[in-house]
Amino acid sequence: MTPTAWADLPNAKHIDRVLADLKKNPDRWSAAMAAEWNAAWSDVWNTARTDARTAAMTDAYNAAWTAAWYAAWGAARDAILALIAYNDCAYLLDEKPEHVQMLGLLGNQAAILLYPACVAMQKEMA
């Protein structure tokens, strides 16, 4: 097997793990995308509803949709970037998503980047 470009990085096996899970469980990653979308849409809807201007709602909707789309599809990329930048963050992939979320809310940059991956990789499929 040809070594990857990141094979020499401390978190190489975790980067491979994220990529393998993305390939094996695309539905889980789509669910993480849906969660990002729903959160962004809820914020936009509440803002636009109070404003009550159709033009503002349309602009806000389009902005949120675009942001959520790129954020969601970037979940794997963000996880990989976190694993490259923070050598000591791989353990977060095995933490409960609510713990990772709490760390992110407290300002832990690796947790912020890894939270969607954590949700996607630990989600039980119905």
Per-residue model confidence as pLDDT tens digits over 20-75: 888 888 777 777 766 766 666 666 666 655 655 566 556 666 767 676 666 556 78
Helix 54-73 to helix 75-85 angle (10° resolution) is 50
- Domains: count for the chain: 1
Q: Specify if 8 maps to a domain.
A: no
CA-CA distance, 105 to 101, in Å (whole number)? 6
Domain with 58 in it: 13-122
φ/ψ region of 52 (left if φ > 0, alpha if ψ in -120 to 50, else beta) reads left
Q: Specify if 67 maps to a domain.
A: yes
Q: Specify if 2 maps to a domain.
A: no
Q: Specify if 41 maps to a domain.
A: yes
Helix (H) / strand (E) element for 80: namely helix 75-85
pLDDT at 122: 84
CA-CA distance, 33 to 118, in Å (whole number)? 12
CA-CA distance, 82 to 110, in Å (whole number)? 5
Q: Specify if 6 maps to a domain.
A: no
pLDDT at 44: 62
pLDDT in tens, 63-120: 676 766 665 567 888 898 899 999 999 999 999 999 999 999 999 999 999 998 998 8
**In terms of pTM, does the model score above 0.75?**
no
Q: Specify if 3 maps to a domain.
A: no
Q: Specify if 5 maps to a domain.
A: no
